[in-house]
Amino acid sequence: MKLQQILNSLQKLHPKEIDLSLDRIKKLCKKLGNPQDNLKYISVVGTNGKYSTIQAIRAILKDANINCNVYTSPHIQKLNERYEYNNCEISDEELSKLLLKVKEVNNNDKITYFEILTAAFFYEASKYKNNINIIEAGLFHRFDATNIIKSNLASIVTPIGLDHLDWLPKNQKTLDRIIFEKTSSLLNSKIIVSEQNSNEIADKIKKSIKKNLSDKFFFGNDFNYSLNENGFFYFEDKHGGIKLPLPNLQGSFQLSNISTAIATIRNIEEINVSDENIKNGINKIKSIGRFSEIKNGKLKNLVKKNKIYVDGTHNALGASVLSKYISTLKCNKHLILGMMNNKDHIEYIKYFKDKIYSLTTVDIPNQPNAISGQDLMKKIKKLKNVKYKKSINEAISSIELRDNDIIIITGSLYLAGEVLNLN
């Protein structure tokens, strides 16, 4: 059976895409022999920056010849991206075998798509007892399918902001509730809290995890970084300082994610990594659809000498970070925007007011839950130079580019995937 056929069959095992509960995955994992037990984990929760932080950890550990398994979501171009074992993405053939085995054991019991995918990750990971498993929490954390492990090496809390509010009770769509969902059930090990968007959010996180007995490491208090104008940045924690080259990721905001990754690694006694591993690793970080420059391909050919970027930023917190960064670029910025229907479009776009030269809305292909480009344009029509084009190609071709102008395609990870596939 082909991989896509298997995936289609898994999506039919539950009428809902999301059904917040741990009962179903616990039941399936019990049938599988509880493969999630007795493995080494680094858990990553938060709203933004999870993927970049995970990939920074992975790159550093790989340079130190430490084998990792990595579980992330969602994928950008293909499902295989979610599954890495021994630092390698799983093949179509191996993924098909894995999913068929887990589906057979599940025996048609009701279970959500994400839950059975997560059980499959644990089942395969159990074959690599000595590897470090870096796992990304999906929606929130408290009732997320990844939250069935009993112990870990560390929990990372990346920047938290308002997102996925449609999954919260009507009268509890607040930042406090989101922080509670993401942090109240963190395991008792070590907790590393990344740089937050405000002191208020950082204080709320501190309050939420106050009774957790873990050793805690907070950005600003226990680790920090500073950017030097001479092409390097400086990381510092209780173990000392490291002068580091700028990483291969675009955007100064990524230094926060990378610093969190470094702080995590340096505070886990079981991991032995040198400063040299850190220096080498941060220039080998894998990045798909996170402010990635498209350097060749069909879409690049449309802009010729101008630069074009694709970025999966999809919520207001991410928009605030991206807008700050592009404000430092000395050029005209043209935004191509496509978003999902359940996002706060007005709040998102307000961060780009007076910071971009033009904005073109587009439809996101193959996504029935996306807002149409025409409806999105109507919602943000108060901005200057706003227009709608049906396709990504039409949107790019419609922009009158001058020397040094750049195009940024953003608003959704699903759009980022379509862009990369199209290119």
Any domain includes 286: no
Q: What is the amino acid identity at position 304?
A: K
Would you state the pLDDT for residue 248?
Answer: 92
pLDDT of 325 over the 90 cut: yes
Count of CB atoms within 10 A of residue 345's CB? Answer: 20
CATH of the domain at 370: 3.90.190.20
Q: What percent of the chain has pLDDT over 90?
A: 87
Same domain, 358 and 277: no
Alpha carbons 389 and 190: distance in angstroms, whole number? 48
DSSP state of 47: S
Residue 230 — pLDDT band, cuts 50, 70, 90? confident
pLDDT band of 295, cuts 50, 70, 90: very high
Q: Do 46 and 21 fall into the same domain?
A: yes
Question: Could you give phi then psi for residue 21, rounded to 5 degrees?
Answer: -170, 155
**166 and 99 share one domain:** yes
- Of the residues 226, 252, 281, the one at which a domain ends: 281
Q: How many domains does the chain have?
A: 2
- Residue 240 is predicted with a pLDDT of 96
**CATH code at position 59:** 3.40.1190.10
184 plus 103 within the same structural domain? yes
Q: What is the pLDDT of residue 167?
A: 66
Domain presence at residue 307: yes
Range from 31-45, 154-168, 340-354 carrying the lowest mean pLDDT: 154-168
Average pLDDT along the chain: 94
Is residue 252 classed as helix, strand or coil in its secondary structure? coil
Least confident of 169-183, 242-256, 398-412: 169-183
Is residue 66 within 8 A of residue 72, CB to CB? The reply is no
Q: Mark whether 275 and 359 lie in a shared domain.
A: no
Return the pLDDT at 250: 85
149: closest CA among 26, 9, 249? Answer: 26
pLDDT of residue 165: 65
Judge if 194 and 89 occupy the same domain. Answer: yes
Cα distances from 279 to residues 161, 217, 237, in angstroms, run 30, 22, 16
Asked whether residue 17 carries a pLDDT value surpassing 90, the answer given is no
| Residue 287 domain flag | no
Give the whole-angstrom CA distance, residue 304 versus residue 57: 35
Last residue of a domain, one of 281, 304, 326: 281
- pLDDT value at 313 more than 90: yes
pLDDT given at position 12: 95
Same domain, 324 and 264: no
- Residues 267-281: tens digit of each pLDDT: 999 999 999 999 999
Q: How many CB atoms lie within 10 A of CB 162?
A: 16
Give the single-character DSSP code of 219.
B
Q: Which of 46, 21, 41 is nearest to 183 (CA)?
A: 46
Query: What is the CA 144 to chain-centroid distance, rounded?
Result: 15
Question: Do 334 and 272 fall within a single domain?
Answer: no
What element of type H or E holds 36?
none
363-390 residue pLDDT tens? 999 898 999 999 999 998 878 889 999 9
Gap between the terminal Cα atoms of the chain: 28
Last residue of a domain, one of 281, 310, 338: 281
Q: Is 63 helix (H, G, I), strand (E, B) or coil?
A: helix
Structural domain span for residue 391 = 292-422
Give the number of other Cβ atoms within 10 Å of residue 211's Cβ: 7
With a cut of 80, say whether residue 191 has pLDDT above it: yes
| Tens-place pLDDT, residues 126-179 | 999 999 999 999 877 999 999 999 999 999 999 998 766 666 778 888 989 999
**Over residues 265-294, mean pLDDT:** 95
Query: Tokens 């509960």, residue?
Result: 21
**Nearby residues of 29 by Cβ (< 8 Å), 6 or more positions away:** 35, 36, 119, 122, 148
- What is the pLDDT confidence band of residue 251, given thresholds at 50, 70 and 90? confident
